[in-house]
A and B are shown apart, each in its own frame.
Chain A
Amino acid sequence: MEIASGLLHGFAVALQPGNVFWCFVGCLLGTIVGILPGLGPAATIALLLPLTFKMDPAGGIIMLAGIYYGAKYGGSTTSILLNIPGESSSVVTCLDGYQMARKGRAGAALGIAAIASFVAGTVGVIGLTLVAPPVAAFALSFSSPEYFALMCLGLALVVLLSGTSLLKGLLSLLLGLWLTSIGTDLFTAQSRFIFGQATLLGGIDFMVVAIGVFAIGEVMSSVEAGEEAKVLPVPRGFRNLLPNAEELKACRFAFLNGSITGFLVGCLPGGGATISSFIAYGIEKAVSKHPEQFGKGAPEGVAAPEGANNADTGGALVPLLTLGIPSGGSTAIMLSALVLWGVKPGPLMMQESPDVFWGLVASMYIGNVVLLILNLPLVPLFAQILRLPVYVLFPVIFGISIVGAYGASGRIFDLGLLVGFGLLGYAMSKLKYPSAPLILGFVLGDAMERALRQSLMMSQGDLMTLVQRPISAIMLSLALVILLIPLFGWFNRLRVRAITENG
Chain B
Amino acid sequence: MLRAFLKKGDVISGAVLAALGVFIITQALAWDYYTLDGPGPGFFPFWYGVAMVVLSLLLVLNAARTDSDGDKAGVDWPATGRAMTVWLAFALSVGLMDFLGFLISFALLAFFLVAVIFRRPFTTAAVVAVMSALAFHLIFPVALSVSLPTGPFGF
Contact = CB atoms under 8 A, between A and B. Distances in A.
Contacts of B52: 171, 174-175, 178
B39 A178 contact: no
Interface in A406-438: 406-407, 410, 412, 415-416, 418-419, 422-423, 426-427, 430-433
A452 B13 CA distance: 31
Contacts of B138: none
Contact of B86 (A188, A223, A391): A223
Interface in B27-66: 27, 31-32, 35, 37-41, 43-45, 48-49, 51-52, 55-56, 58-59, 62, 66
Nearest to B13: A431
Nearest to B125: A391
B52 to A, nearest CB: 5
B37 A224 contact: no
A171 B55 contact: yes
B47 to A, nearest CB: 10
A437 to B, nearest CB: 12
A485 interface: no
Contacts of A406: 147-149
Contacts of A187: 37, 40-41
A484 interface: no
A192 B41 contact: yes
Given A187-B37, A419-B91, A395 B113 contact: yes
Nearest to B31: A190
Interface residues of B, number: 68
Contacts of B59: 167-168, 171
Given A390-B118, A406-B148, A430-B80, A170 B55 contact: yes
Contact of A225 (B17, B48, B79, B125): B79
Nearest to A408: B146
Given A171-B56, A174-B51, A216 B31 contact: no
A227 B117 contact: yes
Interface string A381-401: 000000000111011101100
B132 A396 contact: yes
Given A224-B79, A226-B117, A422 B87 contact: yes
Interface in B111-155: 113-114, 117-120, 124-125, 128-129, 132-133, 136, 140, 144-149
A461 B39 CA distance: 9
B109 A178 contact: no
Contact of B146 (A39, A170, A225): A39
A312 B83 CA distance: 38
Contacts of B102: 402
Interface string A220-261: 110111110100000000000000000000000000000000
Given A223-B82, A398-B109, A419 B94 contact: yes
Contacts of B109: 395, 398
B15 interface: no
A449 B47 CA distance: 11
A208 B114 CA distance: 25
Contacts of A168: 59
Interface of B: 6, 9-10, 13, 17, 20-21, 24, 27, 31-32, 35, 37-41, 43-45, 48-49, 51-52, 55-56, 58-59, 62, 66-67, 76, 79-80, 82-83, 86-87, 90-91, 93-94, 97-98, 102, 106, 109-110, 113-114, 117-120, 124-125, 128-129, 132-133, 136, 140, 144-149
Given A192-B45, A220-B87, 16 more contacts: A36-B144, A181-B45, A193-B45, A391-B117, A395-B128, A395-B129, A395-B132, A398-B93, A399-B136, A402-B97, A403-B146, A403-B148, A406-B149, A422-B87, A422-B90, A457-B38
30 contacts: A47-B145, A168-B59, A175-B20, A177-B48, A178-B20, A178-B24, A178-B45, A181-B44, A187-B41, A190-B31, A192-B31, A193-B24, A223-B83, A224-B83, A227-B119, A391-B114, A391-B118, A392-B128, A394-B118, A395-B109, A395-B129, A399-B133, A402-B94, A410-B147, A415-B94, A415-B97, A418-B94, A426-B83, A449-B44, A453-B39
